[in-house]
Structure 1
Amino acid sequence: MARLATVASCRSQPKPPAVTPSSYNPITLQDLANFLPQQASLASQPRGWTVVNLDTNFIAGASTHVVGGSLFGRSAEVRFTPHAYDWNYGDGSTNSSAVPGARWDVLGVREFSPTATSHVYRQEGSFTTTVIVRYGAEYRIAGGAWIPVSGEVSSAATAVVTTVKSADTVLAARDCSNARGSQTCP
């Protein structure tokens, strides 16, 4: 009987299970607080000015990107993917969109056409437009598989100031570029 106990104690002990991210509690956005998304940019068409009652086109420059660092003492990466854009046009109007916007020529539309991110100012003034980009996050440790994290991370883009002026249109019977000073050309 003593011999049986000795044989049992000589058997190799099973290895402890490998530690993987899935064996931890889920990673949260708070765990990723040291990983910050890149600041987005903001542009407008026309650039810096517009006309009352015409569409002004706004475009957020944000893309999927990876930020490296350390998570729980191990080499890690966080991938940020833009999911939504929260616009504040500076005149009390806001909008949320799933797209960052694009230039009129890229969209294949005429200048001052409405877009998913455009805005019409109803009065003259100087308005500061901002956009907050909401990113989804995924992480990986030591080059492993990407694991999604619940929730979103928000990052404000640079602001754009737009001067809004009124404009009058004049109909002319002919091309005024060569006939300035005549009765039908200002």
Structure 2
Amino acid sequence: MTYAPVTLSDLANFVPQAASLTSQPRGWTVANLNTNFIAGASTHVVGGSLFGRSAEVRFTPHAYDWNYGDGGTQTTSVAGARWDTLGMREFSPTSTSHVYGSEGSFTTSVAVRYGAEYRVGGGAWIPVSGEVSSAATTTVVIVQNADTVLAARDCTAGRTAPGC
């Protein structure tokens, strides 16, 4: 007996976990400098029932569709990472960063596209054609202008130097 392949619509009752979204700096940034964004999404398994049998669906992130709230968008294959994890200085460009050109309050979002595999009764994983998209929570970024100041000495050691 031959069965039709399982499709994404057959797996509609299996929903991927919502991803999280954070930014660096958190909640604010400086106009014309890089703001780093990180999606919290990982491979995970959701249990349930498929055709009356115990089944599991494994969701694996494949792509991230970023909307930066100012008209800027991009798609990446990575979730992003913290600057310190990447060994980078703050405001360095990353694969998920964005530069805001003006002041304002911007609501950013990311949709994670997952590939899906299923298994019934603990059997082998079977891939399913297509992707499932899941929106993460949004985050608001306040963008402000900043002026730099030159100081005669290190201002962290003492505030007596000119410019501190």
Q: After TM superposition, is the score higher than 0.5?
A: yes
1:18-29 matches, within 5 Å, as 23-29=2-8
- Cα-Cα RMSD: 1.2
- Which 4+ stretches in 1 moved above 2 angstroms? 174-180
Q: Kindly indicate whether residue 69 of structure 2 is the aligned counterpart of residue 93 of structure 1.
A: no
The aligned residue for residue 66 of structure 1 is: 45
Q: How many residues align?
A: 163
Structure 2 segments unaligned to the other structure (5+ residues): none
- Distance (Å, rounded) in 2 between the aligned partners of 1:54 and 1:155: 29
Shift in alpha-carbon separation, 1:136–1:179, aligned structure 2, 3 A: closer
| Distance (whole Å) between structure 1 residues aligned to residue 123 and residue 159 of structure 2 | 71
Q: Is the 8 Å Cα contact of residues 150 and 163 (structure 2) preserved in structure 1?
A: no
Cα deviation for residue 47 of structure 1 reads 0.3
TM-score between the two structures when normalised by the length of structure 2 = 0.96
Q: What residue identity is the alignment partner of 1:40?
A: A
Does the 8 Å contact 2:100/2:143 carry over to 1?
Answer: yes
The partner residue of 1:142 within 121, 134, 144 is 121
Q: Does 1:112 align with 2:95?
A: no
Equivalent in the alignment of 1:40: 19
Is there any run of 5+ residues in structure 1 with no aligned partner, and where?
1-18
Query: TM-score normalized by structure 1?
Result: 0.85
SS of alignment partner, residue 45 of structure 2: strand
Which of the pair is proportionally richer in helix? 1
Structure 1 or 2, whichever has the larger Rg, is 1
- Bigger proportion of residues as strand: 2
Contact kept, 8 Å, 2:106 with 2:140, in 1: the verdict is yes
Q: Spell out, residue by residue over 1:17-76, the C-alpha distance to the aligned partner (whole angstroms, 9 max, x if none).
A: xx6xxx310100000000000000001100000000100000000000000100000111
Match of 1:121 in 2: 100
Q: Aligned partners of 2:35 and 2:155: how far apart in 1?
A: 27
